[in-house]
């Protein structure tokens, strides 16, 4: 898979973005630069959410959060969010994600009033589902909060109030579902080879009046669905956890700037939960020892399988260990015998000295983490979006990132949002893409 071109007319800080990532370039690694606030992170997150999350019903809330507040302007029936040109083997395909309101959808239905009312009823149904989901999450949060937390006395009344709201909404929802509104709406939309993605809110009142649609040009609906499902499994995002992820809920994003009465009502907790729902999202700030151990367990199991089939153990485990140690300058990684953890050591020529966690630099741990993520997740022939990959790396290592990625996943396409001139200099100037406001050229010292 290769993202050849992305166009974003007007989304948040992104204005008139039109970037081409040439398929024939070697390596397929593209630094993406701009000054702070230029929208690099926004662009990567938008690509990830639209191409990955929009095909999973259980992940659609991330799509809703990402485009939350995106409004149709006066006089508009539709508004483009983003257009992607994707290369899949020999095929080049164009994918549009756009939003619309009731008036546009009504034009797809017949002139009969009862059919046009299908649109309004469908939006009411989708609103009902969203509100029930929202209230259920609030109940779950209240029930899981510590018994001694602030506001505990009001908790039973709040839970009962939310349950009453759910019961009331369910009555409307069940009636609409029994009437077959969802099927009628979907069938009519699909006759135009357009995919319905989700409803969402463009206002602060949480009423989901806008609709996100998707169209794959030159493909019928069935083949479009197949392409999007395949593509959704080939898009990954890596980023530092210190940034604001726009696909988190309003409440989660606001918690970054607020003190909360509840221990789980903080940005880190919301991000941790999102990561559990999005295995394709990786934050490389902390060393993921669980992935490391799992990767060694998997290698051990492969060796055992080889032993069953051939009578001799394989070398997957040792190969993986050698690969990890090759990434460390003069240190070695050692697994505990019970696979409960790892430690590191160094051979000074006279003895082997065990190192503490403080003896490895942030950069060393991060480099190991990125390697491990790509290998453990078996990320191949994928579109890998990486934000601020250069943080904690010496300029020499920033330059080396390009060779590392090419070695660790040569069949992938990488788009790297960066401020690093060293990283950019490891490629040709044509590889480097920029968003306004562009990076300022480095001035030579006089």
3-state class (DSSP) for residue 355: strand
Minimal CA–CA distance to 216: which of 228, 198, 234, 233? 228
Q: Can you tell me the distance from the alpha carbon of 272 to that of 268, in angstroms, rounded to the nearest whole number?
A: 6
- Contact of 87 with 2, CB cutoff 8 Å: yes
Across the range 379-400, mean pLDDT stands at 92
Q: What percent of the chain has pLDDT over 70?
A: 91
| DSSP SS3 for 20 | strand
- The pTM of this model reads 0.85
Model pLDDT for residues 77-108, shown as the tens digit of each residue: 899 999 999 998 878 889 999 998 888 888 87
Cα distance between residue 97 and residue 66, in whole Å: 13
Residue 56 CA to residue 232 CA, distance in Å, equals 8
- Residue 349's pLDDT band, with cuts at 50, 70 and 90, is confident
**Which of these, 250, 148, 246, lies nearest to 201 by C-alpha position?**
250
What confidence tens digit (pLDDT) does each residue in 42-65 have?
Answer: 999 999 999 999 999 899 999 999
C-beta separation of 284 from 369 below 8 A? yes
- Spatial neighbors of 59 by CB under 8 A, at least 6 apart, are 52, 53, 277, 278
Contact between residue 409 and residue 379 where contact means Cβ atoms under 8 Å apart: yes
Give residue 111's pLDDT.
65
- Cross-strand bridge partners of residue 214: 97, 195
Over the stretch 321-330, which tens digit does the pLDDT of each residue have? Answer: 888 888 777 7
What pLDDT, on the 0 to 100 scale, is given for residue 440? 55
Backbone angles phi, psi at 142, to 5 degrees: -70, -40
**What sign does the CA torsion over 186, 191, 197, 198 have?**
negative
State yes or no: pLDDT of 446 exceeds 50.
no
Beta bridge partners of 198: 212
Greater model confidence, 239 or 141 = 239
- Of 387, 286, 418, 274, nearest in space to 45 by CA: 387
Could you state, in order of their start, the residue ranges of all structural domains in the chain?
A: 1-100+211-280+380-446, 109-191, 287-376
Contact 136, 165 (CB under 8 A): no
pLDDT band for position 22 (cuts 50, 70, 90): very high
pLDDT at 364 over 90: no
Q: In whole angstroms, give the CA distance from residue 327 to residue 333.
A: 10
CATH 3.40.50.300 fits 1-100+211-280+380-446, yes or no: yes
DSSP 63-96: HHHHHTT--PPTT-SEEEEEEEEEEETTEEEEEE
Q: Are 413 and 21 in contact (CB under 8 A)?
A: yes
Q: In the chain, what percentage of residues exceed pLDDT 90?
A: 36
Question: Residue 87 has what pLDDT?
Answer: 92
Of 401 and 171, more confident: 401
């Amino acid at each position: 898979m290769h993202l050849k071109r992305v166009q974003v007319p007007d989304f948040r800080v992104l204005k008139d973005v039109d970037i081409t990532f040439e398929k024939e370039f070697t390596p397929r690694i593209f630094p993406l630069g701009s000054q702070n606030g230029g929208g690099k992170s926004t662009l990567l997150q938008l690509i990830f959410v639209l191409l990955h999350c929009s095909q999973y019903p259980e992940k659609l809330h991330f799509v809703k959060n990402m485009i939350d507040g995106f409004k149709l302007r006066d006089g508009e029936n539709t508004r483009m969010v983003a257009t992607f040109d994707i290369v899949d083997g020999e095929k080049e395909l164009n994918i549009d994600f756009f939003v619309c309101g009731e008036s546009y959808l009504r034009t797809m239905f017949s002139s009969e009033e009862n059919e046009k009312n299908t649109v309004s009823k469908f939006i009411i149904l989708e609103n009902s589902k969203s509100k029930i989901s929202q209230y259920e999450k609030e109940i779950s949060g209240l029930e899981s909060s510590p018994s001694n937390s602030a506001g505990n006395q009001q908790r039973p009344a709040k839970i009962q109030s939310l349950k009453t709201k759910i019961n009331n909404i369910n009555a409307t929802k069940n009636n609409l579902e029994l009437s077959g509104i969802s099927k009628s709406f979907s069938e009519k939309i699909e006759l135009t080879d357009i995919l319905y993605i989700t409803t969402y809110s463009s206002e602060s009142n949480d009423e989901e009046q806008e609709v996100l649609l998707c169209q794959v040009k030159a493909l019928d609906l069935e083949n479009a669905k197949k392409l999007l499902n395949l593509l959704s499994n080939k898009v990954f995002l890596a980023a530092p956890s210190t940034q604001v992820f726009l696909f988190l809920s309003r409440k989660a994003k606001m918690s970054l700037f607020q003190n909360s009465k509840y221990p789980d009502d903080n940005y880190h907790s919301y991000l941790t939960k999102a990561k559990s729902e999005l295995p394709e999202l990786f934050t490389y700030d902390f060393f993921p020892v669980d992935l490391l151990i799992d990767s060694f367990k998997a290698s051990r199991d492969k060796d055992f399988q080889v032993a069953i089939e051939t009578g001799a153990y394989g070398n997957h485990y040792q190969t993986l260990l050698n690969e990890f140690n090759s990434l460390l300058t003069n240190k070695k990684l050692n697994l505990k015998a019970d696979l409960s953890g790892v430690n590191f050591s160094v051979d000074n020529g006279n003895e082997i000295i065990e190192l503490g966690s403080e003896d490895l630099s942030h950069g060393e741990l991060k480099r190991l983490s990125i390697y491990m993520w790509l290998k453990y997740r078996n990320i191949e022939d994928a579109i890998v979006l990486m934000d601020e990959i250069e943080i904690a790396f010496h300029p020499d290592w920033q330059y080396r990132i390009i060779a590392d990625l090419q070695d660790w996943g040569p069949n992938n396409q990488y788009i790297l949002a960066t401020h690093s001139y060293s990283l950019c200099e490891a490629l040709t100037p044509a590889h480097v893409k920029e968003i306004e406001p562009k990076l300022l050229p480095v001035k030579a010292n006089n």
